[in-house]
Structure 1
Amino acid sequence: MGVDREEVVREFERYLRLERDLSPHTVRAYLTDVNSLLDHTGGDVEGLDIGVLREWLAGQHAAGKARATLARRTACARTFTAYCHRRGWLQTDSGLLLGSAKSPRTLPSVLDQRQAEAVLEAPATGDPKELRDQALLELLYATGVRVSELCALDVDDVDRERNIIRVLGKGRKERSVPFGVPALRALDRWCIHGRPLWMRAGSGPALFLGVRGGRIDAGTVRRVVHARLAQVEGAPDMGPHGLRHSAATHLLEGGADLRSVQELLGHASLNTTQIYTRVSIERLRAAYRQAHPRA
């Protein structure tokens, strides 16, 4: 009797969540990839040899999948076959023979400082939605936190005496991130004049709320960022991660050292942070080409 596909997927999900402690987003992505792979094999877990894996990835490439997607699916296949081998569902770990598909390191789009100021220009209104949106935009740009980290913030995570927020990042690692006076003022306006109007019995300690009183979700934050950027002439269309990129780039342009920016962003590796030095250099080159008569 063959290995039961549903059991394998269920146990793999448990492994990703409890042992690897991956984020819900990453778990969902890996499960989607694994199900795609098993659909390709007709549900035959024991038939996952290197030929099948390469055939599946070649099909993904032929379907026009992006290089970043192919890199993630290659990583998922290697993780999955290693897990199945340890559990005794595969005689050999065929994923070891897969090459490492690397996604291209493209430079992220960022706002210039004039555009950032325009995005953060506070609307003259006391509407709770406007107060909330202004506060979350200020905090995203001031701290460079991830959208998931922003949504998870509770009221008590804000230290108003030291202008610091406590963030639970990837791998459940906690870090403290400073923010400035404009963000503090926006937070105070939201917490005093906006949040109490939206609070409900089930609101709990969530710092940012949706219109129905529940904790705000990432989709709502993305809509807020896209809407505000659309109002700024010349600003690139990007989501919350674009404000994170912009914050990091402006910190480096202002003289912050790379290691400090790494700590603020919660990057595990300095190599991840170094892309922002390339962004700054490219912006300097562009300005030079535009302004210098002999560029």
Structure 2
Amino acid sequence: MDREIEGFIRFVAVERGLSEAYQLSLRQTLEALGGWMKKRGLPIEDLGTDELSEFLADRKRGGLAASSLRIATVHLKVFFRWLAATGVLPMDPAEPLLAPRSGQALPETLNRTMIERLLDGIDLTRPLGLRDRAMLELFYSSGLRLSELCGLKLEQYDADDRFLRVTGKGNKTRVVPVGGKAREALEAYLARERRSLVGKRTGSEVFLSVRGGRLSPDRVRQIVKERAAQAGIESKIYPHLLRHSFATHLLEGGADLRVIQELLGHADISTTQIYTHIDGARLKSIHKKFHPRG
């Protein structure tokens, strides 16, 4: 992490010509992140949106003001965007982070109505409709990470018992269920559309591009945004938002936090606890809106 921080600071100093004060501010945020990672034994390649959200939540619990938290969020976004652009990381885990409002520094979630609009808005009679519906259903049904969905192989799906054996961060394998709607969408795609995408060099990846190859993370992000636009959803939609919605809706429905931790593949329960903050923020918002003295 130290090498990446130094490289980024040199970049903003030499290429961008940013002030020493801004460089110092950046360094403070990134070194705090580095110390947080070291305590948890997290290498940089294992940092995802969940972990960055928990880091920011820890900073908030430590007394960091809302204005400083907004600045720290921006620092993370520009740093990880640079890491992805220079090839240090395969994707940008900070992209889904939102600058906090009213002191909250957590990713958003979609409500159930928006989820239904997104999923039901896909025309299954159009080319790639079955594929895209199956992809989005799995994001929401099983809480997959973007990298996990892109790398998902046919042999990881147990159609009889309706579960996926997913290999996540640190090559750790977990079993996640496939819900009824997601199973229907996945099996319809496998039976009726995937075979038309298979080419000479096609592997066993579940989700294929029009050329028969594995879908890239950038392409999946683009597909999710396009499908959201077609459904008339104006909010910024990205794959990880469906993962967050999966966890939040489970918590709202009464699921145990340890079960959610297992389903998401979090090594540490503290990472999963960000969802208790999201749910708490939702409850406070409802109380403020409807209580006569809220």
TM-score by length of 1: 0.68
Corresponding residue for residue 86 of structure 1:
none
- Whether 2:224 is the aligned partner of 1:225: answer yes
Q: Structure 1 residues 193, 234: CA separation in 2 closer, same or farther (over 3 Å shift)?
A: closer
* CA deviation vs aligned residue, 1:155-210 (integer Å, no higher than 9, x gap): 11111111100110000000000121110111111111111111011111010001
Is the Cα–Cα contact under 8 Å of residues 5 and 27 in structure 2 kept in the other structure? no
Is the Cα–Cα contact under 8 Å of residues 144 and 243 in structure 2 kept in the other structure? yes
Which of the pair has more CA radius of gyration? 1
- Whether 2:101 is the aligned partner of 1:140: answer no
Which residue identity lines up with residue 175 of structure 2 in the other structure?
S
Identity in percent: 38
> 1:74 offset after TM fit, Å?
7.2
RMSD, aligned α-carbons:
3.4
- The secondary structure found in structure 2 opposite 1:277 is helix
Please give the alpha-carbon distance, in whole angstroms, between the structure 2 residues aligned to 1:66 and 1:239: 29
Corresponding residue for residue 178 of structure 2:
179
Q: Structure 1 residues 290, 234: CA separation in 2 closer, same or farther (over 3 Å shift)?
A: farther
Is the Cα–Cα contact under 8 Å of residues 122 and 231 in structure 2 kept in the other structure? no
Please give the alpha-carbon distance, in whole angstroms, between the structure 2 residues aligned to 1:294 and 1:72: 39
Q: Structure 1 residues 73, 256: CA separation in 2 closer, same or farther (over 3 Å shift)?
A: closer
- The secondary structure found in structure 2 opposite 1:238 is coil
> 1:279 offset after TM fit, Å?
0.6
* CA deviation vs aligned residue, 1:209-257 (integer Å, no higher than 9, x gap): 0111101111111111122233455663131111111110000001100
Corresponding residue for residue 191 of structure 1:
190
Q: Structure 1 residues 76, 160: CA separation in 2 closer, same or farther (over 3 Å shift)?
A: closer
Q: Structure 1 residues 76, 180: CA separation in 2 closer, same or farther (over 3 Å shift)?
A: closer
Please give the alpha-carbon distance, in whole angstroms, between the structure 2 residues aligned to 1:133 and 1:207: 12
Corresponding residue for residue 292 of structure 2:
293
- Whether 2:251 is the aligned partner of 1:252: answer yes
Unaligned runs of 5+ in 1: 1-28, 43-56, 78-100
Please give the alpha-carbon distance, in whole angstroms, between the structure 1 residues aligned to 2:242 and 2:174: 19
Q: Structure 1 residues 64, 236: CA separation in 2 closer, same or farther (over 3 Å shift)?
A: farther
- The secondary structure found in structure 2 opposite 1:200 is coil
Is the Cα–Cα contact under 8 Å of residues 167 and 175 in structure 1 kept in the other structure? yes
Corresponding residue for residue 106 of structure 1:
105
> 1:293 offset after TM fit, Å?
2.8
Corresponding residue for residue 129 of structure 2:
130
Please give the alpha-carbon distance, in whole angstroms, between the structure 1 residues aligned to 2:7 and 2:188: 47
Corresponding residue for residue 121 of structure 1:
120
Is the Cα–Cα contact under 8 Å of residues 111 and 236 in structure 1 kept in the other structure? no
Please give the alpha-carbon distance, in whole angstroms, between the structure 1 residues aligned to 2:31 and 2:240: 21
Please give the alpha-carbon distance, in whole angstroms, between the structure 2 residues aligned to 1:72 and 1:224: 32
> 1:284 offset after TM fit, Å?
1.4
Please give the alpha-carbon distance, in whole angstroms, between the structure 2 residues aligned to 1:158 and 1:251: 22
> 1:63 offset after TM fit, Å?
8.5
How many residue pairs were aligned?
231
Q: Structure 1 residues 126, 168: CA separation in 2 closer, same or farther (over 3 Å shift)?
A: same
Corresponding residue for residue 61 of structure 1:
22
Unaligned runs of 5+ in 2: 39-63, 74-103
Q: Structure 1 residues 119, 30: CA separation in 2 closer, same or farther (over 3 Å shift)?
A: farther
- The secondary structure found in structure 2 opposite 1:120 is helix
